Structure 1
Amino acid sequence: MITFDHLTKRYGATLALDDVSFEVPASSVTGFLGPNGAGKTTAMRILLGHTRATSGRATIDGRQYAAISNPAATVGALLDAQAVHPGRTGAETLALAAAVIGVDRRRVGQVLDLVGLSVAESRRTVKGYSLGMRQRLGIAQALLGSPRALVLDEPANGLDPQGIRAVRDLLRAVADAGCAVLLSSHLLHEVAQLADRVVIIGRGRILEDTTIDDTTAQDLETRYFSLTSTEDRSAA
């Protein structure tokens, strides 16, 4: 389970996160929605130990990231698909990550299959990858340790419609196998088809946290724009 507990983050006079609290249960997908600058990436970076909170906590199975031994085997993450050494091949990138976290190298082939990267593609250097291929590689790396939690920032970015459907099916299968999946996205239609819950954030505050059982893509889009537009007007 992923838990954000009264999380606040200030950068000087700027309040990036304002008392953010929500949970991502095991065996579920939570869509984290909000406009650029709303606080989504900041919250994820705090969860993954990249940034310190001003107050509050973000935990995975009750522990902060720094307290988890071999955290990559507990929580898989993709925040920036471009943050990969361009001179390595895809297979080399995954083999090195597998060695670092201590998983069998055979897992590399398994995750490549899961994300739909062929053997030939995995032997190419990353500098020749499209954005969609880098996204697939990043998701593969996040899955290497068979983590109990998965944190993905815009995982469908750069993917064609077929790739988006494949990633959606993969994440649904991972969640159904027991993983807590948190993903940020601006693709409201895709979130409506995949997520069990939706958390909407605006200007660092949680505006809505709801299940998606009875929510259509159109309902979600209407509600999202209504909430975020109201928040923008109130801050003006």
Structure 2
Amino acid sequence: MSYIEIKNLTKIIKGNKVLDNININLSNGKIYGFIGRNGSGKTMLFRAICGLIRPTTGEITINGKIISNDIDFPESCGAILETPGFWDNQTGLECLKNIASIKSIINKDIISQWMLKLGLDPKDRKTFKKYSLGMKQKLALVQALMESPNLIILDEPTNALDEESVLILKDILKKERERGATILLSSHNKTDIEELSDKIFKIDVGKVKEV
């Protein structure tokens, strides 16, 4: 059985079909790339899989459970969707500790290890509002990855990252795939998608086809 099954997924917003009868199956231990122009439906599809929007018709099943029916959100999921948001007046480590406290499955040491992996200093007293764009992106990546989720959804994960950080991220994602995670990526950089993905889908006007 596929880890994610999307059947006849359609989403209509203000009379517009932003997702149009999508049918795809996604397995464990694979990286799936999604390419398409701005407004093509990539982010909307990711939001639907995360349970942040409900389908107009069709359904999304994750690990045998239907989103918005059996469960509201995927049970084990880390995601970056659009602009990362954290607490402006807290340090990076404080922000991540707050997020980790929701599930309480990792401790400060694991959070610190992930920060170091992605080039952030857990001892840095700089608050989030003083972070550069690249640092903010790295912090968002840490929150998505630090709990070793079964499902990883990253919308434009290399935004604002320097070349070295992109290479580090690629290595991390390959290791997460080996761990058995299902990884969904979107990127304007087709080279990154082609290098990492086991399968690539193109989204255009809400329709999805395999490349």
Q: Is the 8 A contact 1:8 1:19 kept in 2?
A: yes
CA distance in structure 1 between the partners assigned to 2:73 and 2:59 by the alignment: 20
Written as runs of structure 1 = structure 2, the 5 A alignment for 1:36-185 is 36-65=38-67, 67-68=70-71, 71=74, 74-105=76-107, 106-121=109-124, 123-185=125-187
Distance 1:68 1:204 in 2: 24
- Which structure 1 segments of 5+ residues have no match? 211-236
Q: The residue matched to 1:100 in structure 2 has which SS? A: coil
Which amino acid is 1:42 matched to?
A: M
Higher RCO structure (Cα 8 Å, ≥6 apart): 2
Whole-angstrom CA distance in 1 between matches of 2:210 and 2:43: 17
Partner of 1:12: 14
Provide the rounded CA distance (Å) in 2 between the counterparts of 1:153 and 1:135.
11
Give 2:122's aligned amino acid.
Answer: V
| Secondary structure, aligned partner of 1:101 | coil
Identity %: 33
CA distance in 2, matches of 1:172, 1:81: 24
Q: Deviations over 1:116-175 (max 9, x none)?
A: 212344x32111112221111111111232111101110001111111111111111111
In structure 1, what is the Cα distance between the partners aligned to 2:41 and 2:105?
Answer: 33
Indicate if the aligned counterparts of 1:17 and 1:43 stay in contact, CA closer than 8 A.
yes
| Counterpart residue type for residue 209 of structure 1 | E
Which residues of 2 match residues 178-197 of structure 1 at below 5 A? 178-197=180-199
* Contact 1:22–1:209 (8 Å) recurs in 2: no
Structure 1 residues 64 and 158: alpha-carbon distance in aligned structure 2, compared to 1, 3 A threshold: farther
RMSD after superposition: 1.8
Q: Please give the alpha-carbon distance, in whole angstroms, between the structure 1 residues aligned to 2:43 and 2:181.
A: 20
Work out the CA distance in 2 between the residues paired with 1:149 and 1:15.
Answer: 26
Aligned to 1:155, what secondary structure does the other structure show? coil
The residue aligned with 1:200 is: 202
Amino acid in structure 2 at the alignment position of 1:33: I
Deviation at 1:70, TM superposition (A): 8.4
CA distance in 1, matches of 2:28, 2:150: 8
AA in 2 matched with 1:114? K
Partner of 1:209: 210
- In the TM superposition, what is the alpha-carbon distance from 1:68 to its structure 2 partner? 4.4
**CA–CA distance in structure 2, aligned partners of residues 166 and 176 of structure 1:** 16
Quick one: distance in 2 between partners of 1:65 and 1:100? 20
Per-residue CA deviation, residues 18-51 of structure 1 (Å, 9 max, x unaligned), is: 0012222111110111101111111111111111
Distance 1:40 1:158 in 2: 19
- Look up the match of 1:21: 23
Residues 147-156 or 160-169, more deviating: 160-169
Task: Give the aligned residue type for 2:16.
Answer: T
